[in-house]
Structure 1
Amino acid sequence: MYEIRTLCTGAERKEAAALVQERHRWLTVRGLPMPARADSPALYRDPQAWPAGLFEGGLLLACMIPQLAPDLGWGEGPCLYLGSVHTLPDCSDDTVRLITLWASDFAARLDVPLMRAEALARSPLDVDPIAPFLRRLTDMGWEVRDPGIGRDGERVARLELAAEHRPGLSALIGCHVHDPQPAAGSWCVT
C-alpha cells in the first residue's frame, strides 16, 4: 500500500532534500530542464513549509509541497497547487499517476475545484524535451494550459486537473496530510 503524508520529522525532510538533489543530478545527466532555483532541496528543510511525501513501505518515492489557493498569477478560482514536485529517478510514470489520483481526490475533499502544477519548459511545448512527459500527463487527465512564467520566474507549462472524489482510493493510497492551510493545522486522513 502507498501512503502520502506530511513530512514532519527532520529525518523525513532530510530524505526529501536528498531525493530532490538526486533528481537534479538525474535531470542534468539527461540534459533535461532543471530549476534555476538551486534552493529547492532547502525548501524541504524549511520549518514554514508543509511538504508531503509519497511512500511505499518505508521508501520515499516522491515529495511535493501542496498549497491551497496560492496566488499563481494564472488560472481563475481556488485550487490545490502542487509545488516543487520531485520523483525518485526512474520511477516517474507510476509515481506521477499515484500523485495525480491522490491530489485530485484531496482537492475534492478540500472543496476546491482544481489542482494546478507547473513543469519547466524551455522551448515550445511540442518540441520541448518534456513533450513526452506532457503527453503522458494529458493521458492521465491533466490539461496543458498556455505556457508562461511560473511562480519562480521560469518558463513553464501550466497544468490543471479537475478535482474528483475517488471513493475507494484509500484502499490504494493512505492519506495523512495536514490541511494545506498551516493556520488550520487539521489533519486529513482517509
Structure 2
Amino acid sequence: MAAPFQVRPLATGAERAEACALVQDRIQDLAARGIHLPAAHTYAFRDPSASAIGLYEDDRLRACLILNQQPTPGPGPGPGGTAPCLEITHLYTDPQPDSEHWGRLVSLWAADYAARRHDHTVRITATAGLLDPPEHTERLLTHALTLGWHPGGTSLNPHAQHQRALHLTRPAQPRAGLSAYIRCRVPLALPPAAPRTGHAP
C-alpha cells in the first residue's frame, strides 16, 4: 500500500504558486486571530533558488517550508558546542482543522530527514508577527512543545532590521517505520543555492 503522505520538492512554477496560495490562506487565518504577518512571506516560495518543500496528501498540498541548503552550525557536542544543523524557515500548514496533525507530520519527517543527512539538530526560525506581542510568543512556544520542539533562543532577523527571530529546535531522530506513512522524495544532498534576486522574505 502506498504511503498516504509524500514530502517532495516544489519543482514547478505551478507547485510554487500553490505554496504561495497556501501561505496567503494561513496569513489571512492568523490575521483573523490578531496575528499579522507581512505578505512578503510568500516571496520565499517564488524564488526558484530556494529549496522549497511540500507535504502532500493525495496530491493536495498540506504544508510547505524552506530548507537551508547548507548545514547550519547549531547547538551540539562539536567544537565550541556546535554541530551540523538542518534549518527550516517559512513553515506553513494549510489552515484546516487537521493543521496540527500536518505540523506534527512535518516535525517527524524533519527529524528523520536530518538524521539521515547526519545533522545533529533541526532548527525552525519564526520571525516577527508571530512573536509580537509577547503573548503570541508564549502561544507559539506552547504549540511547538506539543509538536516536540524546544526553545532554542532568539536573534535578530537577518532579513529585517530590528525584528526578532525565535529559534525552535529538536534533535535529529531516525524513524524506521515513517516511510510507510510518509514517502520522502527530497534528496539528501540539497543543491547549492543560486544567487538570490528580488525581495528578501
Coarse TM-score class (shorter-chain normalised): 0.7 to 0.9
1:172 and 2:181 matched = yes
Contact 1:64 1:85 (C-alpha < 8 Å) held by counterparts: yes
Question: SS where residue 51 of structure 1 aligns?
Answer: strand
1:109-188 aligned at under 5 Å gives the runs 109-119=116-126, 120-124=130-134, 128-153=135-160, 154-179=163-188, 181-183=190-192
Query: Which whole-Å CA distance do the structure 2 matches of 1:61 and 1:151 have between them?
Result: 28
Contact 2:5 2:55 (C-alpha < 8 Å) held by counterparts: yes
1:52-63 aligned at under 5 Å gives the runs 52-63=53-64
Aligned match of 2:199: none
Change (3 A) 1:130 1:96: farther
Partner deviation per Cα, 1:32-54 (whole Å, 9 max, x = no partner): 142x4x33212212111120000
Give percent identity, aligned residues only.
37
1:22 and 2:16 matched = no
Change (3 A) 1:140 1:25: closer
Q: Greater helix percent: which structure?
A: 2
Query: Which whole-Å CA distance do the structure 2 matches of 1:151 and 1:98 have between them?
Result: 28
In the TM superposition, residue 9 of structure 1 has moved relative to its aligned partner by: 1.3
TM-score by length of 2: 0.79
Equivalent residue letter for 1:110: R
Corresponding residue to 2:93 among 73, 87, 93:
87
Give 5+ residue unaligned stretches, structure 2: 75-80, 194-201
In the TM superposition, residue 178 of structure 1 has moved relative to its aligned partner by: 3.2
Partner deviation per Cα, 1:55-89 (whole Å, 9 max, x = no partner): 000210010011132478xx933211111111111
Moved beyond 6 Å, runs of 4+: none
Give 5+ residue unaligned stretches, structure 1: 185-190
TM-score by length of 1: 0.83
Change (3 A) 1:106 1:147: same
